[in-house]
Amino acid sequence: MALGTMLGNWIEMVWVNTVGVDQYYHCMANCQASRIGFMGPPVASTVSDLREITDVWRKGATPQECALDQAANRTGRNAPRSQPCESACRQFLPRNFTP
């Protein structure tokens, strides 16, 4: 289920608790969720949009922070199915971090 995949990536991101991995997990969640059935892409997009709205209200996220997260979200959703999500999202990993 796409929603469960999104939640699982969020839980892993919180558990890892490492500065700079936010966009990687945004990308991975969107990539993995968008590959689950015909509802995967709209679920990934909707959850990502709602998440950014709540980040602004709850955490006071700036428009720039939201734009970076949304760019990572789109990268994940637009990754070719022939490319593993780990490869598509690698660009968002900080140096010396192994998920």
Name the percent of the chain in helix, strand, coil, to the closest 5. 75, 0, 25
pTM for this prediction: 0.84
Residue 44 token pair: 């990934």
- Residues with Cβ within 8 Å of 98's Cβ and at least 6 positions away in sequence, in order, are none
The pLDDT tens digits along the chain (99 residues) read 877 887 787 787 778 777 678 899 999 999 999 999 999 999 999 999 998 999 888 888 898 999 999 999 999 999 999 999 999 999 999 877 776
Of 64, 77, 61, nearest to 28 by C-alpha is 77
